[in-house]
Homo-oligomer: A and B are copies of this chain.
């Protein structure tokens, strides 16, 4: 099953036989005080640097989140999506917990976006899926409802409910990307094994594509980039097809790209070798 996303001029396809889809996550004020203050003042100039860094790091898509409780998120999302499209032709993920902000972002976007996200809660499904359908977008479905199941089969059932509800709104399964829920392994030793088992069940029983917030896994731990890289390689080998991650870290992006090569999704290593040559050339320049 293939999920096709588009900007005005570029198409990205997420799928099991494809290279892993790296969704740059940096356009997000979480934990960034200076950026939060700028957004509260209606200033989105920081996006220029953020977009450039994610693109340089090798992102395939960009997640756009301008959520701040003290800012006008709807106006900001409209402005941010407009500006990011001037800066890059990568397809976008429109990311907000505010339904009107999702709507504003989708209205400002020219192409087929990925909406981040809906959960299995009835109220969220009924509020968000009609917007996704109206804009011809795809959507990320988190495998939780009002609680986070710690049993892979229960996460699968939430995912199944989301795929089914999407179908009721005319959104086909290939336009639903399920997040099996990556959680901190420092807080729960089974976090990754639960994730892998959930991803396997989703792949085998629903056949849809998957994504996650990759850096959640290493929350609070030393050596985060190395843990994230290892997590991505492992998860890709168990069928994860994309992740929202910070493309500024070469170690982390390399984890995904190494997995592409090793798993036969970068035949003869064309992309791996070209990327390595470009780094060598840059180092010598």
Chain A positions within 8 Å of B, measured between CB atoms, are 185-186, 189-190, 192-193, 196, 217, 221-223, 226-227, 229-231, 233-234, 236-238, 254-255, 258-259, 261-264, 267-269, 272-273, 276-277, 280
A-B contact pairs, 6 of them (CB 8 A): A192-B262, A196-B237, A223-B254, A229-B258, A233-B255, A237-B237
Tell me which of A186, A222, A237, A262 has the highest count of chain B C-beta atoms within 10 A of its own C-beta: A262
The number of times this chain is found in the oligomer is 2
For A263, the chain B residues whose CB sits under 8 A away are 192-193, 234
Closest chain-B Cβ to A204's Cβ sits at a distance in Å of 15
For A231, the chain B residues whose CB sits under 8 A away are 258, 262
For A190, the chain B residues whose CB sits under 8 A away are 264
Contact B229 A229 (CB under 8 A): yes
Q: B185, B196, B269: which contacts A261 (Cβ < 8 A)?
A: B185
Q: Which 5 A-B pairs have the closest CB atoms?
A: A230-B258, A222-B276, A230-B233, A234-B237, A192-B262
Contact A262 B185 (CB under 8 A): yes
Q: B222, B227, B258: which contacts A223 (Cβ < 8 A)?
A: B258
Contact A222 B273 (CB under 8 A): yes
For A269, the chain B residues whose CB sits under 8 A away are 185-186, 221
Q: B185, B226, B259, B264: which contacts A189 (Cβ < 8 A)?
A: B264
Closest chain-B Cβ to A91's Cβ sits at a distance in Å of 26
For A230, the chain B residues whose CB sits under 8 A away are 229-230, 233, 254-255, 258-259, 262
Residue of B nearest to A256 (CB): B230
Complex Cα distance, B233 from A268, in Å, reads 21
For A280, the chain B residues whose CB sits under 8 A away are 222
Closest chain-B Cβ to A234's Cβ sits at a distance in Å of 4
Contact B264 A192 (CB under 8 A): yes
Closest chain-B Cβ to A185's Cβ sits at a distance in Å of 6
Contact B193 A261 (CB under 8 A): no
Contact A267 B189 (CB under 8 A): yes
Residue of B nearest to A233 (CB): B230
Contact A223 B186 (CB under 8 A): no
